[in-house]
Structure 1
């Protein structure tokens, strides 16, 4: 299982447009993808409600995990979305 730790940079955190972009990128991959805040249970990264429910704010760290073929590339893409200003 591949993993990335990312600090969310966007002013709105992982909400609204950044969350939608993140979920759309995760949903296009045919592999399992999850995201969580530190010391929290992971949620399905392909679910907008689950991602919004994490209430990730600017400056908080998230952990994104994926398992399957193409996991590393997908994690790179998701990390770039989460760390974009």
Structure 2
């Protein structure tokens, strides 16, 4: 299983707009991607393509999250998604 840690760059965290942008990007991945807080077990991770899951995570600016995916293309998908999270989507 591929795994990446990312820091949320959006000034307001993963609220509605950044969560929607990230969920769309995760949904376009060829693999299922999960998101969780560091230290949470992988089996408790949430669907990264779900805007409701992202918002309920409560990740704020500067918080770290863990992305996981399995299968062919997982590394590339996670690399792309880390770039999305580490971009201030509130500034765009």
Settle same-fold status: TM greater than 0.5: yes
Tell me, in whole angstroms, the C-alpha distance in 2 between the residues paired with 1:29 and 1:38: 22
What secondary structure sits across from 1:13 in the alignment?
coil
Which stretch shifts more, 54-63 or 14-23? 14-23
Q: Is the 8 A contact 1:18 1:81 kept in 2?
A: no
The alignment yields a C-alpha RMSD, in angstroms, of 1.1
Aligned length in residues: 85
How far does residue 80 in structure 1 lie from its aligned partner after superposition? 0.6
Tell me, in whole angstroms, the C-alpha distance in 2 between the residues paired with 1:82 and 1:42: 17
How far does residue 14 in structure 1 lie from its aligned partner after superposition? 1.5
How far does residue 30 in structure 1 lie from its aligned partner after superposition? 3.4
Tell me, in whole angstroms, the C-alpha distance in 2 between the residues paired with 1:71 and 1:21: 19
Higher strand share: 1
- 1:70 aligned residue: 73
User: Structure 1 residue runs of 4+, over 2 Å off?
Assistant: none
Which stretch shifts more, 75-84 or 39-48? 39-48
Tell me, in whole angstroms, the C-alpha distance in 2 between the residues paired with 1:64 and 1:75: 7
How far does residue 2 in structure 1 lie from its aligned partner after superposition? 0.6
Tell me, in whole angstroms, the C-alpha distance in 2 between the residues paired with 1:15 and 1:80: 17
